[in-house]
Structure 1
Amino acid sequence: MTIEISVRGLVEFILRSGSLDNRIQASPADAMQEGSRIHRMIQKSMGADYHAEVPLKYVYSTDKYDLVISGRADGILDKYFGETDVYDGQENFIEGKKANPLIDEIKGTYRDLKKMQDPVPTHLAQAKCYGAIYARETGCPEINIRMSYCNIETEEMKYFDYNFSAKEIISWFDDLIGRYKKWADFECDWQDIRTASIKAVQFPFPYRDGQKDLAAGVYRTIIHGKKLFLEAPTGTGKTITTVFPSVKAMGEGKITKLFYLTAKTITRTVAEEAFNTLRQFQDLKMKTVTITARDKICFLGEEERNCNPEACPYANGHYDRINDAIYDMLTHEDSFDREKILEYAQKHKVCPFEMSLDMSLWADAVVCDYNYVFDPFVYLRRFFAEGTKGDYVFLVDETHNLLDRGRDMYSAVLRKESFLELKNSIKEFHPSIAGHLDKCNKAMLEMKRECDDCRILTSIDKLINPLNRLSGIISEYLENHSEGPGRDEILEFYFDLSRFLTIYDKVDDHYVMYSEFADDGSFLVRLSCIDPSRNLAECMDRGRASILFSATLLPIQYYKKLLGGTDEDFEIYAKSIFDPNKLGLFIGTDVSSRYSMRSDEQYFRIAEYINNVISTRGGNYLIFFPSHQFLDEVHEAFIDNFYDETSTEILVQKSFMSEEARESFLDRFSIGNNVDLNEVIHMDIEVVEDKNILGFCVMGGIFSEGIDLKYDSLIGVIVVGPGIPMVCNEREIIRAYFDDKGVDGYDYAYRYPGMNKVLQAAGRVIRTEEDTGVVALLDDRFMQGSYRSLFPREWKNYKVVSTNTVKNAVSQFWSEI
């Protein structure tokens, strides 16, 4: 068995110490690119005998496994005569002075080098590891270590030179390996246990119709190292059907880690349940971790969170205790879910969020948000650092969400007014920064004068140059000052600035740059990623295979194209296992949600539709609207004309709802409505006590997907309109972009996203084979061919109704059932 770890990973894991401290500025997002430039510049200046990017590897062998420690030394000089001599690249020979090899470790920084007294300990340790490996390989009696720091802005250099005997540095390295050995021993033993259990695992349920073929398709995709775009309607068991073959592939050594990626917290619970099912019923031995957002898992709470040792006792000395916490949890638990992370973090007094990230190193499967794989500012660098590739499989749940999320993750915006606000706030304390802020503001003012509502930009070089200079001076200030007046404001601004500059380096023909005025009158410059396919594909290329699945992935070629698929990748449309006769589908053609047709008469007729549908059978219903404004109008019409408080309880989705309020809303949709109203009466929802439950909601919102209301907890959904997004600059730019590419821009900007919301909302009704329910689609546009072509296969038997006929049609459906 082979266990691999990088030199950097070894050093940073074993030798870390001290406290978490967000006041110490980490390297900015663009530092990696700038650091690479610095590396190349220094390496080229060192002459012909200087070997750059030298791969080094050491294999530590035991009876059970080989521990492979590897990395790349930034530079090696085979002969170096000492720090007093100037090396000019020639074969200098100094009589009586012995030449030893030199290991050069280069680091780019924004820090003031004059204030650096010593190198960063982990940087020096990394160089010493390379030195020990090189000394072993060459048998040299001594070796020189140099830390070369270069200021990224000024290109000023500072060196720290050390000399070690081979015996001394090899002994130090062996001690470091000895400290890691218990972790390697555990990994070796655990892999044996895990692999043996996986071989015995069987699918935990009787296969439903077509489910075995789906699992086989997932397995084949992993073996071939491709992507699979899978439309799997509700009931196909898509979670267990994707997890199971991935686990089997891990048991056969095809993959080393599984990432289950979700867009919403509730979907993560479903993934956890799938792994727990395999543990419980199949005795699977697999360690899984769920990564919860920092704000949601912080002991201090979102409002009080401040990650520094003075504000947080869990940050104070975190690194001194974290490895003991990890080993404790690793040897006692298999499921590192939110509750367990909190339990062990509390026990060892460490940060729970940072602990969850560390546990991901030791977990076989990681359940997390899309961000941790795809977001260029949040992704897990411990797995996906630049240029690295692993035997990972990505299971991307609710894939339809990845398109808009991908656009957001790879886009950036700057607000002109932010420059002025920060300048006025800090000019007294930081006149130099304020001066550079003023230059950027003037550049944006010039762009503002040229903009009338919205303007496509072909070049923003006049803005980028002062932004780069501002970024450099702020970076230097943050690196050298952990405290100071206005520092928090500067840091928050710097994040936005750094994001913009990083995204600017990604801008290509998949982007549109434009300026516009916000609703509040502020001036914005946007870098908009219209087609995120290239960026997403690059992320998925860091693993072996990707399985992208959703209950609504129509048209599949649209998603395949924009989510980074190729002609060689696979696609499957799974057949629904549900009896189509248990779903009553009705299309109301005498109403419309078109903006131009909205009126009190339309609101009344839609309210009448709702009343006619729910009056056929008492129970729980969700009604979805295209916007909160439309919802409010119909809600008012329903209250005024049809509402009976003795038989109906109405819940209204608010624009902003706490997690507690959301849960209370959904609790009312319980089987038999057995929920105590006293539990929700003070929540941010409207409640009127009695039997029928009507939830007025917004399409694409928190209640339109990811919720699982089974049996009679929901018997009907009414969808008002085809979900078309509001016309705005962003949507019109998307439309024009794809028109220019030779496809129907309206489909890409409006129709496809809208219909996905409709399908998601309608999908709330039938969740199990025992479920029965109705879906009413209210808008004449649903009868147009362009919309009906997007209906799933199961929607063939729809009935066209009107306000006058819908009640009888729905009643007939229920009577036949």
Structure 2
Amino acid sequence: MLNGWNTLMLSTALPIQSYLRSIRRQRGLIFRVSPTSVSSMEIDSDLKVATISVGEFARFSPFTQRNDPLGFGNWRAAAGQQWHKEIQNRADSEGFSNEQSIKGDLEWRGWTFRLNGRIDQIRSQKDRTHLREIKTVTTPLPLRPEEVSSRFKSYCIQLLTYRELLNRIEAQPTGSVDLDLFLIELGSGITQSLLLDERFDTLVVDQLDVLADYLDRKLERLSRLRALRFKPAYETPRPGQETIQEDLNQAFERSPIGCLEAPTGYGKTGVAWEFALNRLATGKVERIVYLTSKSTGQIEAAERLDALLTDQSAASYWQIRNKAEHCVNVEFRCSTKTCSYLSDLEEKWGRSALEPMFLSTAKPISIDALKETSAAAGICPYETMRTALGYRDIWIGDYNYLFSANSSRLLANQPDFDPARTFLIIDEAHNLPSRIESNLSKELSALSLNGLIEELSEIGAGHKIHKSLTNLVNECLAYRKGDVLTLRQLDDLTDLLLELINLISTDPMPYESITPEALDTLWSLSSGSTALKESASRYIAWIPQNGLIRITCIDPSQEIRETLTQFKECLMLSATFQPIDGFLEQCGLADQLTPPQQVAPPAPWLEGAYNIAIDTRTDTRFKSRKNGEALTAATIAKLAERHSPIVVFFPSYAYAQSLYEAIAIDYPFYRIAMQRRGKGESLSSRAEFIDEAMRFHDIIFLTLGSSFAEGIDMIGGKIDAAIVVSPALPEVNAIQQAKRDYYQNKRLDGFERAYLQPGIQKVNQALGRLVRAPGQKVKVLLHCQRYAERRTKSLLADQYQNCQYIFKDEDLKRWIEEEPILKT
């Protein structure tokens, strides 16, 4: 039963009608009833109408707030519902009616706020109306009135808003409505009934101003964008760019999704920015989001955008960086328990002067300045960045901000982010399917789960949660290295995960006491488990080592399609969509009613730029690799003797290391620079490595698919010859075999989808970096007989199709010595 503690029951001693009337006269507040209702804020900028629920209106803030961890804690909602039910069961005896819907329009400073909500309890007696809002809280009760208005301001605003709407429907004087905020302490059941008096009235007026200010800034932003002026991507179009803007316009008239395929060096990024900025300036969209797979790609995209925008440009942009880069503490531990910069954010925002910093410049604020200014205000710099995004027209970031369950909340929680009004650019789009596969995959480790059990036991988690985690540990230990779970076993594992997630959501747990590491584990367990249950055939569960279950996604097409089709328009960029039907299949876009349009402009400077030869003398498959090692080493040495420095691409670091050692023994006079494993992820370190390697070495070893092979542009035009050792097909393992079977069951070429396409795509990407401008030329030796196979060769880009064949040593010698002729 509820404890009847209500000693802080306050009466409305002074009528507030005259006070609000004076405010309305000053600020132009008019009310009228309207039938519209929706579940989230929608903004019609032309009519100046914002449709929003009363609860969302009461909670609205242009500044970021910290939510409960992981969104867990449904047990609080369930417990709250039980308390609500018990209070509501008393309604008849107290003369209340439960769950009264209400809708209305509130006009303020030229805006119409179209509101809808549901009053928990309402009682009408003669000339007075009593409104009651029931809220469960974890804060110990009782509280002083000023504490209530500070801690639970949105609850107070919600009640005050109901009164303003009700007064216009019932035509009652403001002073005849009693507002009762009924608080229930969740753990103990202690209650506190607080009647809101005139001291609370300014809350709703202030909240109206907050929302009106935000919407006014939105109008100003859109008006400013209509005056947007920017430079063309290229004053003189490069060859093949003469009609590209019109080509893109025609493509988007036919479909909201376009695929721009053009070789490295064409200028795709600049072309995409110019097209998107035109959409922004003409009002077709209200925001641009540019995503790429590597942080260095974001830097390059920002630099290219900056070159198009003038000093007086009306467009502002922001490059999104991760949490760790924003941290001002010695150790990165993002938790309200350990970081004072995350506490009392609402109060700090109220007294900070950070907002002018967002509005003062169109360009991103440097990370150092952001950290310094935010820390001085006592606010986490990452939270400042989150708030600053809402003031920017263009966002540049990583794929994860759309496609990762953990990171996507950054954009999704922005109050004015609507994909249906946004132009999306996906750079290096050929990497999208594999990245989303990785995001949708997870691991279950018996070691981590045991650690979680120990920590949760220490903070008082229930027996059911302990038992559920133990069942998962036992499942991890039930298999041995190399095992692959059947679909039935995967389904049973998913049931265990869903059981745990349900317990975590419904059983009381002090999340504030859980370490960030444990929260990460909980998040990993919960993320994607429902999708796993609904479409288990798109996953494979296998055992890479004892005590560890790895659940790998083999088909991310559903998630990609559902995300991309939310946007007004989406432009995907790549040098290597080929084959386009395979790419669209992987993205779930092959069967769209309005299929994506491919735009593939000509690149005339590639005519004759590549002198390709296929070396059929060796087989570089793993089982035959050692036998051909001497021939491969000799081939590399011969090419380096004539064309030093040369670049040699390998499918793996281990293969490169093996050849490094072989050449060091048989040809010790050659200086070899080898990309180190895990090194060179920053643009500057990659540039430094390449510069040093080309100046002081004869041979440069790079790994296909790495940031060096796909993201390094400094070698274009600076080398005369390169070798690609092996087609770089993925190793045969449980994952690739599962992919092969999966696509085969869909009546597609499983081997091509699982092995050939990803391997040759890496080759195409690497070769594209060797010629980036007219006049550049290069010899490329494809060193493996598999390149000569029809279906392997057909996947090579068009500019690599015309090639010679090396059958014997004399053919190689003749090819090395001949001079390629560039066509004019």
Give the TM bin, normalised by the shorter chain: 0.7 to 0.9
CA contact (8 A) 1:393 1:543 kept: yes
* Separation of aligned partners in 2, 1:780 and 1:656: 30
Task: Give 1:351-390 correspondences, 5 Å limit.
Answer: 351-380=380-409, 383=412, 389-390=419-420
CA contact (8 A) 2:445 2:476 kept: no
Counterpart of 1:590 in structure 2 is: 617
Bigger Cα displacement from structure 2, 763-772 vs 96-105 = 96-105
For the residues of structure 1 that align with 2:102 and 2:491, how far apart are their CA atoms? 37
Q: By how many angstroms is 1:330 displaced?
A: 2.3
Structure 2 SS opposite 1:655: coil
Q: SS state of the match for residue 703, structure 1?
A: helix
| Alpha carbons of structure 1 residues 416 and 243: separation in structure 2 relative to 1, 3 Å | same
Q: Which residue of 1 aligns with 2:108?
A: 60
- Deviation track 1:698-740 (CA, whole Å, cap 9, x = no partner) reads 2111212122215544444321111111111111111111111
Render the CA deviation track for 1:412-435: whole Å, top value 9, x for unaligned. 332334333444x44873575577
Whole-angstrom distance in 1 between the partners of 2:614 and 2:365: 43
- What SS does the corresponding residue of 1:455 show, helix, strand or coil? coil
Cα RMSD (Å): 4.2
Q: Secondary structure at the match of 1:669?
A: helix
Give per-residue Cα distances to partners, 1:172-200, cap 9 Å, x unaligned.
322223345555444433433332134x7
Contact 1:705 1:764 in 2 (8 A): yes
Match of 2:523 among 491, 495, 514: 495
Task: Look up the equivalent residue of 2:644 and give its one-letter code.
Answer: G
The CA deviation at 1:98 is: 3.9
Structure 1 residue 727 corresponds to structure 2 residue 755: no
Q: Which residue of 2 aligns with 1:173?
A: 204
The DSSP-based 3-state class of the residue aligned with 1:813 is: coil
Q: Determine which of 610, 621, 643 is the counterpart of 1:617.
A: 643
Q: 1:505 to 1:706 in 2, by over 3 A?
A: same
Contact persistence 1:235–1:769 (CA under 8 A):
no
**Structure 1 counterpart of 2:224:** 193
- The question of 1:26 aligning with 2:69 is answered yes
- Change over 3 Å in CA distance of 1:437–1:762 after alignment to 2: farther
Q: Which stretch shows the higher mean deviation, 489-498 or 504-513? A: 504-513
Show the counterpart of 1:664: 685
Contact 1:25 1:478 (8 Å CA) reproduced: no
What is the 5 A alignment of 1:774-793? 774-793=779-798
Contact 1:218/1:242 (8 A) holds in 2: no
Distance 1:447 1:666, change over 3 A: closer
Corresponding position of 2:289: 259
For the structure 1 residues 168 and 697, does the alpha-carbon distance in structure 2 shift closer, same or farther, using more than 3 Å as the test? same
Query: Within 2, Cα distance between the matches of 1:101 and 1:252?
Result: 48
Residue pair 1:516, 1:525 contacting (<8 A) in 2 also: yes
**Cα separation, 1, equivalents of 2:248 and 2:166:** 47
CA drift at 1:596 = 1.6
Structure 2 match to 1:764? 769
Structure 1 residue 366, shift from structure 2 partner: 0.3
CA distance in 2: counterparts of 1:287 and 1:35, whole angstroms = 44
1:124 corresponds in structure 2 to: 155
* 1:401/1:590 CA distance change after superposition, 3 Å: same
Q: Read off the aligned partner of 2:440 and give its amino acid letter.
A: Y
Q: 1:422 to 1:773 in 2, by over 3 A?
A: same
CA contact (8 A) 1:398 1:549 kept: yes
Q: 1:348 & 1:467 partners in 2: Cα distance?
A: 42
Alpha carbons 1:234, 1:576 under 8 Å: kept? no
List per-residue Cα deviations over 1:639-681 (Å, max 9, x = no partner). Answer: 1122425xx3x32222222646x743432433xxxx6xxxxxx
Q: Is the 8 A contact 1:59 1:69 kept in 2?
A: yes
Q: Which residue of 1 aligns with 2:811?
A: 805
Contact 2:538 2:554 in 1 (8 A): yes
Q: Distance in 1 between matches of 2:388 and 2:51?
A: 16
User: Percent identical across equivalent pairs?
Assistant: 17
How far apart are the structure 1 equivalents of 2:812 and 2:81? 71
Does residue 271 (structure 1) correspond to residue 293 (structure 2)? The answer is no
Deviation at 1:104, TM superposition (A): 7.1
Q: Amino acid of the residue matched to residue 177 of structure 1?
A: L
Shift of 1:16: 6.4
Cα deviation digits, residues 319-373 of structure 1 (max 9, x gap) = 5555745423223211115546446546655433222222211110000111111
Distance 1:643 1:352, change over 3 A: farther
Q: 2: distance between equivalents of 1:299 and 1:362? A: 23
Q: Which amino acid aligns with 1:557?
A: D
Distance in 2 of aligned mates of 1:212 and 1:71: 51
Of the three residues 632, 635, 641, the one matched with 2:660 is 635
CA distance in 2, matches of 1:758, 1:439: 47
Counterparts in 2 of 1:416 and 1:96: CA distance versus 1, 3 Å: same
CA contact (8 A) 1:250 1:256 kept: yes
Q: SS of the residue aligned with 2:273? A: helix
Q: How does 1:388-407 map to 2 (within 5 A)?
A: 389-407=419-437
1:306 matched residue in structure 2: 333
- Name the amino acid aligned to 1:374: F
User: What are the within-5 Å matches in structure 2 for residues 735-746 of structure 1?
Assistant: 735-746=740-751
C-alpha spacing 1:72/1:497, structure 2 compared with 1 (3 Å):
farther
- Structure 1 match to 2:534: 508
Q: Which runs of 5+ in 1 are unaligned?
A: 82-93, 676-686
SS state of the match for residue 620, structure 2? coil
CA distance in 2, matches of 1:296, 1:175: 35
* Partners of 1:232 and 1:574 within 8 A in 2: yes
Contact 2:72–2:505, Cα closer than 8 Å, also in 1: no
Matched with 1:235 is 265
Instruction: Say which is worse superposed, 719-728 or 224-233, in terms of deviation.
Output: 224-233
Q: Partners in 1 of 2:250 and 2:329 — Cα distance?
A: 46
SS at match of 1:751: helix
- 1:54-453 correspondence to structure 2 within 5 Å: 58-62=106-110, 66=111, 69=113, 73=117, 75-76=118-119, 80-81=122-123, 96=126, 98-100=128-130, 121=152, 123-124=154-155, 127-128=158-159, 130-131=161-162, 134-135=165-166, 137-138=168-169, 139-140=171-172, 141=174, 142=177, 144=179, 163-164=195-196, 171-179=202-210, 181-198=212-229, 202-220=232-250, 226-280=256-310, 283-300=312-329, 304-308=331-335, 311-312=338-339, 314-315=341-342, 319-322=346-349, 324=352, 326-336=354-364, 338-339=366-367, 341-342=370-371, 344-345=373-374, 348=377, 350-380=379-409, 383=412, 389-423=419-453, 425-426=454-455, 429=458, 436-442=465-471, 445=474, 449=478, 453=483
* Corresponding residue SS for 1:554: coil
User: Which is further off, 773-782 or 318-327?
Assistant: 318-327
CA deviations 1:207-231 (Å, max 9, x no partner) are 3344354333444555666111222
SS in 2 for 1:292: coil
Check whether the contact 2:119–2:132 (CA below 8 A) recurs between aligned residues.
Answer: yes
Q: Which residue number in structure 2 is paired with residue 655 of structure 1?
A: 677
Correspondence 1:694-709 to 2 at 5 A? 694-709=699-714
Return the offset for 1:535: 1.3
**Would the aligned equivalents of 1:222 and 1:546 in 2 still touch at CA under 8 Å?**
no
User: 3-state DSSP class of the match of 2:643?
Assistant: coil
Contact 1:298 1:352 in 2 (8 A): yes
Contact 1:624 1:697 in 2 (8 A): yes
- Distance change >3 Å, CA 236–CA 664, structure 1 → 2: closer
Partners of 2:64 and 2:777 in 1: CA distance: 59
Deviations 1:20-44 (A, max 9, x none): 7xxx8524369699989979x989x
1:524 counterpart (529, 549, 564) = 549
Q: CA deviation at 1:276?
A: 0.7
CA contact (8 A) 2:64 2:387 kept: no
**Alignment TM-score, normalising by the size of structure 1:** 0.80
Counterpart Cα distance in 2 of 1:700 and 1:503:
30
Q: 1:458 to 1:160 in 2, by over 3 A?
A: farther
Cα deviations by residue, 1:265-292 (Å, 9 ceiling, x for unpaired):
11112211222111148x5321100101
Relative to structure 1, is the Cα distance of residues 326 and 782 closer, same or farther in structure 2, using a 3 angstrom cutoff?
A: farther
Q: Which one-letter code corresponds to 1:722 in the other structure?
A: P
TM-score, normalised by the number of residues in structure 2? 0.80
Match of 2:742, SS state, is helix
Residues 1:224 and 1:573: Cα distance change in structure 2 (over 3 Å): closer
Larger gyration radius, structure 1 or structure 2: 2
Distance in 2, matches of 1:560 and 1:738, equals: 14
Question: Which deviates more, 754-763 or 315-324?
Answer: 315-324
Letter in 2 for 1:747: E
